[in-house]
């Protein structure tokens, strides 16, 4: 073009090694910089269909779910669990995510059955944690997403009332 900036879209380009050649029109010279915005190297996780409340992964016992990811700017992960009236949560029950902030800033929210955020953990450090203490019986949703389109791998920890933490198989 004849403008100050040039760009090339990578949409639809197959995986592989590519080279960029920069040259001046008819031998012109200039000082320039090159910026690359590459696709994420984070892969979708094994629970990837959980991108909405309707497709949330059900958690029925205290669990550790390792190897999860927010793998692109639009990715949101949902999980759901139920608190029964006979065993209400105390300070010992929580939901949390473990991740490296340097890889991307992830946020954690707890929503009620109507989709209203009732608690959240949105720090700028590694890991996020939400206590379940004081919640009443009912259905709840855990929402994990990236702050300002951040992407990162994470592990989910859920300690439910009456449950012992165990990996979900």
pLDDT per residue as tens digits for the range 93-146: 999 999 999 899 999 999 999 999 999 999 999 999 999 999 999 999 999 999
pLDDT band at 169 (very low <50, low <70, confident <90, very high): very low
On whether the pTM is more than 0.75, the answer is no
Are 97 and 166 in contact by the 8 Å Cβ rule? The answer is no
- Residue 39 has what pLDDT? 56
């Amino acid at each position: 073009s004849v403008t100050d900036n040039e760009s090339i879209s990578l949409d639809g380009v197959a995986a592989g090694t590519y080279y960029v050649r920069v040259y001046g029109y008819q031998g012109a010279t200039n000082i320039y910089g090159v910026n690359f915005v590459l696709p994420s190297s984070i892969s979708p996780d094994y629970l990837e269909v959980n991108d909405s409340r309707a497709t949330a992964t059900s958690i029925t016992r205290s669990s550790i779910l390792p190897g999860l990811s927010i793998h692109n700017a639009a990715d949101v992960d949902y999980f759901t669990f139920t608190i029964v009236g006979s065993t209400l949560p105390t300070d010992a029950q929580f939901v949390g995510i473990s991740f490296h902030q340097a890889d991307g800033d992830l946020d954690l929210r707890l929503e009620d059955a109507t989709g209203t955020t009732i608690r959240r953990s949105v720090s700028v450090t590694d890991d996020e944690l939400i206590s379940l203490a004081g919640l009443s019986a009912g259905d709840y949703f855990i929402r994990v997403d990236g702050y300002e389109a951040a992407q990162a791998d994470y592990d989910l920890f859920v300690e439910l009332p009456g449950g012992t933490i165990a990996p979900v198989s």
